[in-house]
Amino acid sequence: MTRRQAIKTATLATAACATLAPRHAAAAAAPLAGRIHHSVCRWCYKDIPLDTLCQAAKQMGLPSVEILKLDDLPTLKKHGLICAMLTGVPGDIAKGLNRLENHDRIAAFFQQTLPLAAAAGCPNLICFSGNRQGMSDEQGLDNCAAGLKRFLATAEKHKVTVCMELLNSKVDHPDYMCDHSAWGVELCKRVASERFKLLYDIYHAQIMEGDIIRTIQDNHQYLGHYHTGGVPGRHEIDDTQELHYPAIMREIVDTGFQGYVAQEFVPRASDPLGSLERCVRLCDV
């Protein structure tokens, strides 16, 4: 083989490898557009060490890894990241603010945690309505509003937003009370605080009511944070599921939203971090 033939063969081999390279690897070279503040939910990558997930998020251009507790924040800080949605509320999703007997422990948690969240640069702290267990929606609204008012002054003082997550009661969280956007929006109106909003989980909202874009248009002032997820199954937000996320993201941008959009799908791909990057790019409108 002559030198010219060797160079030609190497060039063809390089081109072939480039053709076979994963699409997300090529996309990784381009910076994100910057119109969406991206985040990723930790629990979806529970088999990946937090350190590794943080490194990957940083390389992808994500400023946040979320649904973490205060003890996890030093790891994020090491990588120059924040936690856009802090968790750690005592009890569980089913035992929330709609029960008066839960108010003392929940209020104590928020009074203690809100200043710490602010000091760590966490903009949001999650809360839950709890399950109905026979309670009327009206009574649940009254009870949740009373519970929230016990600590929202502290949230306002420290400029941390308390977000109640909207969850579906049809598939994943039977009997959960805050399962429709109309109920959550009414709670926002009753509380009337700039530091209380909804965590609008698009996966859950699609299962319960659909009409995602119109809901965002009509209620965006009450939506403080967004989560993604493919329907059905809460897997990748690609063409295997029923929602067209680029259109949803464009609507979120058009409302002037300045918060965070977090990927919260459970990857099925053999390369979960590659899957995460592809879905971030899909949402980076």
Q: What is the pLDDT of residues 31-65, one digit of tens each?
A: 999 999 999 999 999 999 999 999 999 999 999 99
pLDDT at 29: 53
Q: What is the dihedral of CA 133, 138, 141, 146, to 10 degrees?
A: -100
pLDDT digits (tens, 9 = 90+) for 163-221: 999 999 999 999 999 999 999 999 999 999 999 999 999 999 999 999 999 999 999 99
pLDDT at 30: 87
Per mean pLDDT, which range of 22-26, 93-97, 276-280 is the poorest? 22-26
Check whether 20 has a pLDDT greater than 60.
no
pLDDT more than 70, % of the chain: 90
Fold of domain 25-283: TIM Barrel (3.20.20)
* β-strand partners of 227: 201, 262
* β-strand partners of 41: 66
Check whether 4 has a pLDDT greater than 70.
no
Closest by CA to 73, choosing from 94, 101, 42, 103, is 42
pLDDT at 11: 42
Cα–chain center distance at 280: 12
C-alpha to C-alpha distances, 26 to 29, 30, 37, 216, 246, nearest whole angstrom: 6, 8, 21, 32, 20
pLDDT digits (tens, 9 = 90+) for 207-263: 999 999 999 999 999 999 999 999 999 999 999 999 999 999 999 999 999 999 999
Burial label for 238, CB within 10 Å (0-12, 13-18, 19+), is: middle
Going from N- to C-terminal start, the domains of the chain cover 25-283
- Predicted confidence band at 25 (pLDDT cuts at 50, 70, 90)? very low
Question: What does the alpha-carbon distance between residue 181 and residue 203 come to, in Å, rounded to a whole number?
Answer: 13
